[in-house]
Amino acid sequence: MEKKNLKKLIEELEFKCVTGVNLLDKEPKWAYVSDLLSDVMGKAQPQMIWVTSQIHKNIVAVASLIDLSAIVIVNERKPDENMLKLAEEEGVVVLTSDKPAFETAGMLYRDLAPQPPKGKRGVFKRT
Amino acid sequence: MELGHKNNLFVIGGCEINTQEEVHCLAYFRDLQLLNEFQQYLDEHLPDIKNDASLFGHQVAVDEFDNIIYEEEKLLIAALDVDLETVAEKVLSMGGVFIPAHIDKSKNSIFSQLGFMPFGLKYSALEVSWRTSVPKFIEKYPKLGNEKFIQSSDAHYLEDIGKVYTEFMMEKLDWENFVKEFAP
């Protein structure tokens, strides 16, 4: 399947880009959903997109530390000025989604998942 | 507080707060007037979710004779709609003592919710739970070696009160001398 960069994902999934507009040619590897920063620090991998409802400014540092490709803030939550300023400084892409985490993650999964092997899923064989 | 006064005990009023990030914090205030003022702030910022007593238990307020005065209908374990820094500033601006709670815990602590100590956060001290001790905690987080700590029980049941505690050497039992303990 064709690899999608952030710009393409934003267009398709109707995210809004709030910081890092000139960094959207990154190709995200996969995504991780969590609201616990300690968990993200331990488990998320570089180049992943992070889906969260946290808007505390520490999320910027975590994204920068692990080199995540973007943060998607869900549920129309509004990040504050301080956090956005820090994200611009650190070169962290912050996107917002007006959908809840489950829907946002579902759309990302659909777009980022490798194609399932043919004939192995969803086929009911009568014996 | 009244009962403490009658029994010659110095009682400091305060509360445990759940911030937007679901970080638990402690706040203490000088007197009932300030406590009431802060209660108004909490009421404004706590979302209107009704408590289901079968799930979360009864939220009752009792008087000095253990009589139930009223039952709080609003769900008190819900999180405020304001962030950690804003709550800290509010408490400190009212002359209160602000302490991030049980920071060693993997649930509802600064470290679990926010990964690390937010840069520039203001606080009076940090609290560790009964599960650790201040020296053990500092051994694990040497960068916090110069911070002020208290250890307390996070008691949610009567029998847990005083499970662990912090001793203060105070010249006089009053608010001024209590606050002095947290001076930088």
A26-66 pLDDT, tens digit per residue, is 999 999 999 999 999 999 999 999 999 999 999 999 999 99
ipTM: 0.81
Contact A64, B116 (CB under 8 A): no
Q: How far apart are the first and last CA of chain A?
A: 33
Among A46, A48, A59, A47, CA closest to A19? A59
> Residue A31 is encoded by which pair of tokens?
């995504």
In terms of pLDDT, which residue wins out, A3 or B18? B18
Q: Cβ–Cβ of B115/A40 closer than 8 Å? A: yes
pLDDT at residue B51 above 90?
A: yes
Contact B12, B5 (CB under 8 A): no
pLDDT, chain B, mean:
95
Name the burial class of residue B2, with classes exposed (0-12), middle (13-18) and buried (19+) by CB atoms within 10 angstroms of its CB: exposed
Q: Cβ–Cβ of B118/A54 closer than 8 Å? A: no
What residues 110-169 of chain B have any CB closer than 8 A to a CB of chain A?
A: 111-116, 118
What's the whole-model pTM score?
0.88
Among B141, B150, B46, CA closest to B97? B150
Residue B83 at interface with chain A, using a CB cutoff of 8 Å:
yes
Hey, which residues does B99 pair with through a beta bridge?
B26
For residue A121, give how far its alpha carbon lies from the nearest alpha carbon of chain B (Å): 38
pLDDT at residue A122 above 90?
A: no
Residue A90 at interface with chain B, using a CB cutoff of 8 Å:
no
pLDDT at residue A1 above 60?
A: no
A61-104 pLDDT, tens digit per residue, is 999 999 999 999 999 999 989 999 999 999 999 999 999 999 99
Return the pLDDT at B2.
84
> Residue B22 is encoded by which pair of tokens?
């679901």
Chain B residue closest in CA terms to A62: B115
Between chain A and chain B, the number of residue pairs with CB atoms below 8 A apart is 37
Number of other CB atoms surrounding residue B63 within 10 Å: 10
Nearby residues of B53 by Cβ (< 8 Å), 6 or more positions away? B59
Q: Which residue has the tokens 């602590």?
A: B109
Name the burial class of residue A42, with classes exposed (0-12), middle (13-18) and buried (19+) by CB atoms within 10 angstroms of its CB: exposed
Q: Which residues of B127-152 are buried (b: 16+ CB within 10 A; e: fewer)?
A: bbbbebebeebbeeeeeeeeeebbbb
Residue B79 has what DSSP assignment?
P
Chain B residue closest in CA terms to A52: B21
In a mutational test of the A interface, the residue from B80, B83, B103 whose CB has the highest number of chain A CBs within 10 Å is B83
B64-108 pLDDT, tens digit per residue, is 899 999 999 999 999 999 999 999 999 999 999 999 999 999 999
For residue B47, give how far its alpha carbon lies from the nearest alpha carbon of chain A (Å): 15
* Edge-first strand listing for the sheet containing B97-100: B13-18, B24-29, B97-100
Q: Cβ–Cβ of A62/B118 closer than 8 Å? A: no
In a mutational test of the A interface, the residue from B82, B108, B114 whose CB has the highest number of chain A CBs within 10 Å is B114
Q: Cβ–Cβ of A61/B116 closer than 8 Å? A: yes
The stretch B108-129 carries a mean pLDDT of 95
> What SS3 class is residue A108?
helix
d(CA B150, CA A105): 41
pLDDT at residue A116 above 70?
A: no
Long-range contacts for B125-128 (Cβ within 8 Å, ≥24 apart)?
B125/B97, B125/B99, B125/B149, B125/B150, B125/B182, B126/B99, B126/B100, B126/B150, B127/B26, B127/B99, B127/B100, B127/B101, B127/B102, B127/B103, B127/B151, B127/B152, B128/B102, B128/B103, B128/B104
For residue A58, give how far its alpha carbon lies from the nearest alpha carbon of chain B (Å): 6
> What SS3 class is residue B151?
strand
